[in-house]
Structure 1
Amino acid sequence: MTTERREPAPDLDERAMLEGWLEYHRKTLAWKCEGLTDEQLRTPAVAPSNLSLMGLVRHMAEVERSWYRRVLAAEDAGPLYYSDEDPDGEFRLTGSDTWQEAHTTWQAEIAAARRNAAGVPLDEPTRGRHLRTGERYTLRWIHTHMIEEYARHNGHADLIRERLDGATGE
């Protein structure tokens, strides 16, 4: 595995610290997926779950899109993989779903997140509102939530990866 991750320095200011930990966890998920075939990346963790590494990446693309485009920037950005009829669509993979597409889409959403967050004060209310709750948030809240979301799913990714090929690591 070649993805390089670095924990943020302990003396950073709040924004750099939040962004540093978010980047660390984004890279951790990429690292957990490196060197696997599309078939392995589509392989569910354990029956009856359909949780897979590719599904996690697609899910995180949706989460990045939702928080940084819809909520933070009030962009009209519809779902990528799910629908009202299939709210867990990002986890339902077929043989035609590819890592190339999932990874490219995820990276595009990360790039949009970075652009939309740049220059926004941590404590300013978001332009958009959460689809379900109608609430506004702050960038501080969104960054903190995203760190938690990635950390939780990186724990899932650890277990899936170990099951696939025995690879472990923090």
Structure 2
Amino acid sequence: MTRAVRIPLFAVALALLVGFSAWYRARSVDAELPGSLCGTTVSPDLSRLILRPDGKVTEHNGVDRRRPRPSSWCQVIVDGRSALSFRFAWHPDAVDPYEIAQSHDSVSSIEQPTRLNAAYQAAVGNNGAVATTDCETDVGDYFTLTVLLEGTNPVDRSRRKDMERFLRAYFPATVKTLNCA
């Protein structure tokens, strides 16, 4: 003899409500993530690696790719608070991203950096990354990008792999937008 298990109607309704809520939240997070970060097209999956918005995402972009200045900033802001800072720098001399990342006198100071093995020079740390490559323009022969996670604990190592995956995709895509000679 088999027994029928009775599930109260409110339990079924609650399970459906929780499932719908999770589905809707996942959809709304995708909708909140921008299609580009600081002028470089990104997929929501890529931006989600380092940008975990819990509100409205905006940016203040001072980067002019057609007429670059030696240094320009772009900030990604979530609900009025800076979440990411990008520094775009063009310069005449080659630099070592690891040295930049280690320098606590630098605006690009990154906690516990390690060198990244890539087609370009890069360093990744707990709270950001620095990458550089040849890029001949009117203001310099090299381009360096710094990405800093704002409002994070600089000794927390949990975001390093995500930052590395982000940089490996974002940096080459950004360089393609720069019209380097």
Q: TM-score, normalised by structure 2?
A: 0.25
Bigger share in helix: 1
> Which of the pair is proportionally richer in strand?
2
Higher Cα Rg, which structure: 2
TM-score (norm 1): 0.26
